[in-house]
Amino acid sequence: MSFSTRVRCVLAVLDYVCFGVGGACISAFLLLISPLLNERCRVLVGIRVLQWSWKLMCLLLRVTRNLSLHVPERAKMAHLRNSIVVTNHPSLIDVVILTSIIPRCKLVVKPKLLRWRFLRPILRSLCIINDGDVSYFLQQAEKSLQQGFNIIIFPEGTRTTPGVKSHLQRGAFHVSLLTETPLQPIRIQTDMPFLTKEYPWWYVGEHCPRFSLSMFPPIHASVQPGESCHAAAVRLAQQTAACILEESGTN
């Protein structure tokens, strides 16, 4: 490992410490203002604060040469409203990048993330917890879309493993059909592994990781004549996979 890489690894660790401390401060701030606001205002303020804090996180990573972003359609992403954003998941930093760009976002997260104590208050109010209860998940997703939020879903369910064929879970597509909300595919590409399952969390690679975000035309959800909801969800999954995955036709 070169000296410059070691320096960047140290700086990355400091960035992550700032992220953890910032999460704790945001949680404390939201808890303090909670009694002063109604539920809707509390969520709007929380989402706004979260977006700007993650903008700062991306800035820290860029300043320390641990992140390079190429987002040619940033303006279009910044104007998304009432959309279900479906994307691949090559890195743990994907959530931070997307939420720093796309406004009024709610994330679909796993229950195990609630074990992060400093983020628990944020996740409970600003995310949709997917605990396996399909009816509750659909209800919360529909409510969020009706309130004008965007929903970010990683249909792979976990970070992408290079060389391993991905299968898209169909929750996002059922929500799209239920609410008649278009799917907005976004593909994230990286030039090297960064914050993946295969490498230590502190390892940043021999050069600055470059992330490119590509935005595809919206996929409008509908059940075609003679088609079941299940078949429609499978079809939408195949259309989405052709956009966001390297292996088209994966479902």
- Number of Cβ atoms within 10 Å of the Cβ of 122: 21
Instruction: Judge whether 177 lies within some domain.
Output: yes
The per-residue pLDDT for 122 is 60
Within a domain: residue 93?
yes
pLDDT, tens digit, 9 for 90 and up, residues 48-94: 887 888 888 888 888 888 888 899 999 999 988 888 999 998 888 88
In this structure, is residue 89 part of a structural domain?
Answer: yes
In a domain, 251, yes or no: no
115: in domain: yes
User: Does 249 reside within a domain?
Assistant: no
- By percentage, how much of the chain surpasses pLDDT 70? 87
Q: Is residue 156 part of a domain?
A: yes
User: Would you state the pLDDT for residue 119?
Assistant: 58
Examine the pLDDT at 248 and tell me if it is beyond 60.
no
Burial state string for 51-68 with b = 16 or more CB within 10 A and e = fewer than 16:
bebbeebbebbeebbbbe
**AA identity, residue 210:** R
More confident residue, 40 or 194: 194
> Which pTM value belongs to this model?
0.84
- The pLDDT value recorded for residue 201 is 75
pLDDT tens for 204-214 read 877 888 999 99
Strand partners, 77: none
What is the side-by-side order of every strand in the sheet holding 127-129? 68-70, 210-215, 183-190, 84-87, 150-153, 105-109, 127-129
Domain span at 219? 3-244
Residue 240, number of CB atoms within 10 A of its CB:
25
**What's the pLDDT at 19?**
77
Confidence of residue 114 (pLDDT cuts 50, 70, 90): low
Considering its fold, how many domains does the chain have in total? 1
Domain assignment present for residue 21? The answer is yes
Task: List, as own/partner pairs, every contact residues 160-169 make where C-beta atoms lie below 8 angstroms and the sequence separation is at least 24, other chains included.
Answer: 160/88, 160/89, 160/90, 161/196, 161/197, 161/198, 162/193, 162/196, 162/198, 165/247, 165/250, 166/88, 166/241, 166/245, 166/247, 166/250, 167/250, 167/251, 168/237, 168/240, 168/241, 168/245, 168/250, 168/251
The answer, yes or no, to whether residue 250 has pLDDT greater than 70, is: no
pLDDT of residue 215 exceeding 90, the answer is: yes
